[in-house]
Structure 1
Amino acid sequence: MRGIRSFELPPELQESLEKAKKLEWATIGYQLSVVVVMFLVMGSSEAMKSAWLEDTLGMVPSVVFLIATKINNKKPDDKFRYGYHRVFTIAFLIGATALLVMGLFLVIDSSITLLKGEHPTIGTVFLGDTQVWLGWVMIAALLYSSLPAMYLGFKKLPLAKKLHNKVLFTDAKAQKADYMTAFAAIAGIIGLGAGWWWADAVAAIFISVSVLKDGLTYVTTAIQDLMDRYPVTLEKEEKDPIIEELKEKILTWDWVKAVNVRFREDGQVYLGEVAFIPNGEINLEKMEWAYQEILGFHWKINDVAIAPVKTLPEW
Structure 2
Amino acid sequence: MTEPAPAYPKEIQDSLKRAVRLEWWTLFWLALIVAMMGFAAGGSQAFRTAWIEDILSLLAPALFLVSRTVEKFRPTKGFPYGFLRADSLAFFFAAAALTAIGLFLLYEGGKTLITGEHPSVGSIMMFGREVWLGWVMMTALALSVIPPVILGRKKRKIAKTLRDKVLFTDADTNAADWQTGVAGMLGILGIALGFWWADALMAVLISLSVLKDGLQGIRISTISLLDGAPRKLGSLDIDEDAQAVIDRLGARYDDVRVQIRETGRYFRVTIEPSGSAHLPVGMAKTLIDNDAWRLIEVAEAVRDEWPDPRDPAKPRG
- Calculate the TM-score normalised by the size of structure 1: 0.84
2:263 alignment partner AA: D
1:143-169 Cα deviation digits (max 9, x unpaired) = 121111100100100111111222211
1:219 aligns with 2:225: no
- Give the distance between the partners of 2:251 and 2:164, measured in 1 at CA: 31
- Give the distance between the partners of 1:26 and 1:287, measured in 2 at CA: 41
- Give the distance between the partners of 1:201 and 1:35, measured in 2 at CA: 21
1:17-40 Cα deviation digits (max 9, x unpaired) = 011101111111111111111111
Pick which of 100-109 and 163-172 moved more: 163-172
Structure 1 contact 51–185 (Cα < 8 Å) conserved: yes
How far the C-alpha of 1:6 sits from its partner, in A, is 1.8
Aligned to 1:154: 153
Aligned to 1:75: 74
Q: What is the percentage of aligned positions where both structures have the same residue?
A: 36
How far the C-alpha of 1:241 sits from its partner, in A, is 2.1
Aligned to 1:274: 271
Aligned to 2:313: 307
**Distance change >3 Å, CA 307–CA 83, structure 1 → 2:** farther
Aligned to 2:280: none
The 3-state SS of whatever aligns with 1:82 is coil
Structure 2 contact 73–83 (Cα < 8 Å) conserved: yes
- What is the correspondence of 1:62-141 to structure 2 with a 5 Å cutoff? 62-141=61-140
Query: Considering only aligned residues, what root-mean-square deviation do their CA atoms show, in Å?
Result: 2.2
1:232-273 Cα deviation digits (max 9, x unpaired) = 1113331112233224444676xx555432111222222221
1:198 alignment partner AA: W
- What is the correspondence of 1:158-237 to structure 2 with a 5 Å cutoff? 158-237=157-236
Aligned residues: 284
- Give the distance between the partners of 2:249 and 2:54, measured in 1 at CA: 48
Say which structure is richer in strand.
1
Structure 2 contact 156–172 (Cα < 8 Å) conserved: yes
Structure 1 contact 91–167 (Cα < 8 Å) conserved: no
How far the C-alpha of 1:223 sits from its partner, in A, is 1.9
Structure 1 contact 47–203 (Cα < 8 Å) conserved: yes
How far the C-alpha of 1:287 sits from its partner, in A, is 6.9
1:174-194 Cα deviation digits (max 9, x unpaired) = 000001101001000000000
How far the C-alpha of 1:221 sits from its partner, in A, is 2.5
Stretches of structure 1 that go unaligned for 5 or more consecutive residues are 278-283, 292-305, 310-315
Aligned to 2:306: 290
Aligned to 1:299: none
**Distance change >3 Å, CA 244–CA 196, structure 1 → 2:** closer
**Distance change >3 Å, CA 47–CA 244, structure 1 → 2:** closer
1:37-57 Cα deviation digits (max 9, x unpaired) = 111111111001100100000
- Give the distance between the partners of 1:70 and 1:287, measured in 2 at CA: 28
- Give the distance between the partners of 1:10 and 1:235, measured in 2 at CA: 24
Pick which of 113-122 and 171-180 moved more: 113-122
1:144 alignment partner AA: L
Structure 1 contact 275–308 (Cα < 8 Å) conserved: no
Q: Which has the higher contact order (CA 8 A, sep 6+)?
A: 1
1:261 aligns with 2:258: yes
Structure 2 contact 250–257 (Cα < 8 Å) conserved: no
1:252-304 Cα deviation digits (max 9, x unpaired) = 76xx5554321112222222212479xxxxxx9x973128xxxxxxxxxxxxx
- Give the distance between the partners of 2:81 and 2:90, measured in 1 at CA: 17
Stretches of structure 2 that go unaligned for 5 or more consecutive residues are 275-299
